[in-house]
Structure 1
């Protein structure tokens, strides 16, 4: 198993980042994400935790040597489950690949929380991915895991840049002190989440 991790500070409030997260795709930098479908969404009336399950459809170049060895296709699917905790002011996203997970299993955790040194105007982004390849040949498994870490590194930098561009576009609509629950409830009513599908 190999682990990829990174931390980044976004110069936006947690409210702005949490709300912009639902409009993250499509963006011009993360072109490998071609569709996002909401499978389930509910707000716990006691805790005010918003839980969402989404299916992400991705298409990216897979090395020919890998396709030759294990088969498969360029289109893959990822299940993402997120929780927005208004009391703790955290957004946690957990995702796992559904495609070829008997050969390569990727479990990713992402957390957004206010920057303790500047909670009003900055948000800390933490990402960790546990990458495990399965097979009889350890050398081949290591090579697949190394390729996956490199791919994560490349996609992570593009993802940050893409999210920055999304944040720039939506920050005018999310103001300081505005309730994240109110924003999200309103957008659910408008059907915004259900229309969040890349083309």
Structure 2
């Protein structure tokens, strides 16, 4: 098993980051993400906690030699469960690959939480456990190491892509604010 952990700060408040998260895909930095489908969504009426289950379809650039040996195609599926705790200002996302997870399992946990000292920032923690299955135990360490390096590269690209999404989200929110502030109905109401 190989472990990955990354900690980052976004210079945006938690409410903006958690809202922009739903607009993360598609983005030009992550063209491998083809579809994101919501399978289930529910709100706990007592706590206000929102839980969402999604299926993410990705196109992976799997080397043809590995595809020939192990079978399968380039289309992969990932199940994600996200939990938004609005009172505590925490968004937790847990995902696991569904495709070929008997050969290689990647369990990822992402947490966005309001920064304890800077309310205008959001702490981001990303962790992953990468485990080769028993069918490939002879090559397990090599496969895990290769997958860890690829995961690290994709994580950096994903963070950069999400930063661009956040920047666009802020611009759109400001434009909507200015548009509503200058609209005739708003001016009449003043």
Name the TM tier (shorter chain).
Answer: 0.7 to 0.9
Contact 1:15–1:174 (CA under 8 A) maintained in structure 2:
no
Q: Which residue of 1 aligns with 2:101?
A: 101
Structure 1 segments of 4 or more deviating over 6 A? Answer: none
Q: Which has the higher contact order (CA 8 A, sep 6+)?
A: 1
List alignment gaps of at least 5 residues for structure 2: 175-190
TM-score (norm 1): 0.83
Contact 1:14–1:113 (CA under 8 A) maintained in structure 2:
yes
Measured in 2, the distance between the counterparts of 1:38 and 1:158 equals 24
TM-superposed CA distance for 1:69, in Å, is 2.6
Measured in 2, the distance between the counterparts of 1:67 and 1:8 equals 34
Q: 1:161 to 1:124 in 2, by over 3 A?
A: same
Q: Which residue of 2 aligns with 1:48?
A: 48
**Match of 2:134, SS?**
coil
Contact 2:90–2:112 (CA under 8 A) maintained in structure 1:
yes
Contact 1:16–1:174 (CA under 8 A) maintained in structure 2:
no
After TM superposition, list the pairs within 5 Å mapping 1:22-101 onto structure 2: 22-101=22-101
Q: Which residue of 1 aligns with 2:111?
A: 111
Measured in 2, the distance between the counterparts of 1:165 and 1:71 equals 36
Q: Which has the larger radius of gyration?
A: 2
Structure richer in helix, relative to its length: 2
TM-superposed CA distance for 1:66, in Å, is 2.1
After TM superposition, list the pairs within 5 Å mapping 1:134-173 onto structure 2: 134-135=133-134, 138-172=137-171
List alignment gaps of at least 5 residues for structure 1: 176-199
TM-superposed CA distance for 1:138, in Å, is 3.8
TM-superposed CA distance for 1:5, in Å, is 1.1
Measured in 2, the distance between the counterparts of 1:137 and 1:158 equals 28
Aligned Cα RMSD in Å? 1.5
Measured in 2, the distance between the counterparts of 1:98 and 1:136 equals 16
Matched residue count: 174
Q: 1:158 to 1:137 in 2, by over 3 A?
A: closer
TM-superposed CA distance for 1:117, in Å, is 2.5
Measured in 2, the distance between the counterparts of 1:48 and 1:137 equals 44
TM-score (norm 2): 0.87
TM-superposed CA distance for 1:91, in Å, is 0.1
Deviation digits for residues 79-134 of structure 1 (CA, Å, limit 9, x no counterpart): 00000001111000000111001111111100000112212x11011000111101
